[in-house]
Amino acid sequence: VAQKHDIVIIGAGGAGITAAIEAKEAGADVIILEKMPMAGGNTLISGAEYAAANNWLQKKEGIEDNVELHVQDTLKGGDYKAKEELVRIMAENALAGAEWLRDEVGVVWEDELMFFGGHSVKRSLIPLGASGREIVTKLVAKAEELEIPILLNTKATALITDESGKVIGVEATSEDTNYTFNTNKAVIIASGGFGSNVEMRVKYNFEIDETILSTNTTGSTGDGIVMAEEIGANLLGMEYIQTYPICDPLTGTLLYYDDARLYGHTIIANKEGKRFVEELGRRDEMSMAIKAQTGNVCYELLDQNGFVASKLQENHGPELEYLYKNELLVKADTLEEAADFFGIDAVELQNTVDRYNSYVDSGNDPEFNKRSLPSKIEVGPFYILKAAPAVHHTMGGIEINENAQVLDKEGNVIDGLFAAGEVTGGIQGNNRLGSNALADITVFGRIAGQNAAK
Ligand code: ADP
């Protein structure tokens, strides 16, 4: 089956649907191809917090911030491996993107901010329910309103080029049909990362082998990266693969219990009852520190006050049920009882907690320099989660310029081809800070859609 559209978009995650909306609003005829039976990708299963300097809640809370600080935090967080001009585009346009999601797409943001590791200040907006569901549901509704078709169960397999190298279409397959989608204007690749593709992970970074689980959906197999490379696109930073520290040790799923850590309320200990890392540190540092502990796991401790303040029951009730059932989470009246459940050294854990509480009093953690100390761990019941790191985000991918145009190995623009979202490389350096992904995919999704429609 052959069809012709102005723009074909590969992938119906956050970046792809955002690009589609912008392109359609600019007057283009757009179609989205999605290989899975539903839209959303990793955006759907993420917490979807969104870093934006100078946002409205910062103003309300009197938090001083600026775009340059967001740029510097991102560069530093990625060990200065990012393309600075792309980081700048992300940071400069992040607030406008969040407002666009709010005002044009109807995304509801919670009335508070989250503090993510590596950011100098609290600058991360939280979507309703602290879940990507809010973002994806509203993006899909907007796409429907604009009559943008999302073709599910349809996998893009190759880019089509003309003799000049310009991209003029996409080959795709569904269960019973082979498609050729020709384009008048452009193809936008928004097919996400390759966190679920073990073979591809190991090809670029042998350490991230099959022993490490993944938080990603099964759709994150790097298809767009491979298709782009086949027609000469340059790839950047493919070896930079991020693990998330707090995941289900049985399945790799990211655990939202970890919200409590981001609010600052938890401490992380090992089986010996000792802290070993800053709880609001970088994801890579925390992950590697956890991997080095007894059993390659950590124990995240929370008291009742922190539990309530983190809204875990309201936002993530079903996850808590699952965790109790699978003995990954315990709730007990005393710290000792909770520690015993996992065979943690209870005496040492109590010492650790006492010391930590004294740091909360003094406002200073001389052991690990935890950057936010909002509450003590003192009021029962106490909660302990057992967790392990898993692959979360692939920083590497297709090289783009400030217009989201794909570049070849010589740095020239490949005509007719744009990319946005996790499929691109060079924006997050070798380590993405939490809540920068939503800013990245929104900002570059919008840019890709607007430019592709020109
Ligand atoms: P981002 O955060 O960059 O938007 P997501 O992971 O949220 O990335 O979305 C990427 C989407 O692309 C997923 O829904 C995934 O299933 C889809 N996808 C991946 N490969 C293909 C492909 N070959 N054809 C069509 N869709 C794809």
pLDDT in tens, 341-364: 999 999 999 999 999 999 999 999
**pLDDT the model gives residue 302:** 97
- Tens digit of each residue's pLDDT (9 = 90 or more) over 111-141: 999 998 889 999 999 999 999 999 999 999 9
Average pLDDT over residues 138-147: 98
Distance CA 86, CA 83 (A): 6
Return the residue whose CA atom lies nearest to atom 17 of ligand 1.
11
Cα–Cα dist 301/322, whole Å: 18
Smallest CA-to-CA distance from 202 within 190, 214, 217 is with 214
pLDDT at 301 over 90: yes
Q: Where does 242-294 have alpha helices with state H?
A: 259-262, 283-291
Q: What is the mean pLDDT of residues 180-202?
A: 97
Nearest protein CA to atom 9 of ligand 1, as residue: 13
State residue 349 phi and psi, 5-degree precision. -65, -40
Query: What gap in Å lies between CA 94 and CA 54, rounded to an integer?
Result: 10
Query: Can you list the pairs that 346-354 forms with residues at least 24 positions away whose Cβ atoms lie under 8 Å?
Result: 346/273, 347/273, 348/272, 348/273, 348/274, 349/269, 349/273, 349/301, 350/273, 351/273, 352/267, 352/269, 352/273, 352/274, 352/275, 353/267, 353/301, 353/377, 353/378
Provide the pLDDT for residue 283.
85
**Backbone φ and ψ of 390, nearest 5°:** -145, 160
What spacing in Å lies between the alpha carbon of 13 and ligand 1's midpoint? Answer: 5
Cα of 353 from ligand 1 centre, angstroms: 43
For residue 327, is pLDDT > 80? yes
Specify the length of the chain in residues.
Answer: 454
- Asked about 282 being catalytic, the answer comes back as no
- Among residues 48, 50, 26, 16, the alpha carbon closest in space to that of 436 is found at 50
Percent of the chain scored above 70 by pLDDT? Answer: 100
Residue 217: predicted pLDDT = 87
pLDDT of residue 284: 82
Here the tokens at position 310 are 């983190």
> What lines the ligand 1 site, CB under 6 Å?
10-16, 33-36, 40-43, 155-156, 190-192, 219-220, 223-224, 421-423, 441
105: nearest Cα among 82, 128, 72: 128
CA distance 426 to 75: 10
What interface predicted TM-score (ipTM) does this complex get? 0.99
Pocket test for ligand 1, best of 21, 34, 227, 254 (most atoms within 8 A of CB): 34
Question: Which residues are CB-neighbours of 444 under 8 A, at least 6 positions away?
Answer: 15, 89, 90, 400, 404, 420, 421, 424, 427
Q: What is the mean pLDDT of residues 278-297?
A: 90
Pocket perturbation via mutation, ligand 1, pick of 21, 35, 229, 443 by most ligand atoms within 8 A of CB: 35
Quick one: which of 133, 105, 197, 113 has its CA closest to 449?
Answer: 105
Active-site residue, from 88, 275, 283, 446? 283
pLDDT-derived band at 434, boundaries 50, 70, 90: very high
Give kind and range of the element (H or E) at residue 350.
helix 346-362
Residue 87, helix vs strand vs coil:
helix
For residues 324 and 322, give the distance between their C-alpha atoms in angstroms, rounded to a whole number: 6
User: Average pLDDT, whole number, for the chain?
Assistant: 96
Residue 158 Cα, ligand 1 centroid: separation in angstroms? Answer: 15
Q: Which atom of ligand 1 is nearest to the CA of 423?
A: 3
Nearest ligand 1 atom to the CA of 17 is: 4
How sure is the predictor about 213, in pLDDT bands with cuts at 50, 70 and 90? confident
Q: Which atom of ligand 1 is nearest to the CA of 18?
A: 4
Atom in ligand 1 nearest the alpha carbon of residue 132: 7
Neighbour tally for 105: CB within 10 Å: 19
CA distances from residue 69 to 41, 110, 424 in whole angstroms, order as listed: 30, 23, 23
For residue 172, the ligand 1 atom closest to its alpha carbon is 24
Structure tokens at 284: 């890579």
Q: Where does the pLDDT of residue 208 fall: very low under 50, low under 70, confident under 90, or very high at 90 and above?
A: confident
* Distance from the alpha carbon of residue 192 to the mean position of ligand 1, in angstroms: 5
What tens digit of pLDDT does each residue of 223-269 get? 999 999 999 999 999 999 999 999 999 999 989 999 999 999 999 99
Is the model's pLDDT at 211 over the cut of 80?
no
Of the candidates 159, 197, 199, which has an alpha carbon nearest to the alpha carbon of residue 181? 159
Give pLDDT, residue 446.
98
How close is the Cα of 157 to the center of ligand 1, in Å? 13
Q: What's the average model confidence in pLDDT over 187-207?
A: 95
Task: Give the C-alpha separation, 21 to 438, whole Å.
Answer: 16
Rounded to the nearest whole angstrom, what is the distance from the C-alpha of residue 221 to the centroid of ligand 1? 9
Residue 193 has pLDDT above 90, yes or no: yes
Q: Where are the alpha helices (DSSP H) in 154-303?
A: 198-204, 223-230, 259-262, 283-291
Tokens of 392: 């979360």
Q: What are the beta bridge partners of residue 449?
A: none
Give the model's confidence band at 207: pLDDT under 50 very low, under 70 low, under 90 confident, else very high: confident
Contact of 131 with 137, CB cutoff 8 Å:
no
H helix or E strand, kind and range, residue 443: helix 436-452
pLDDT at residue 206 in the model: 87
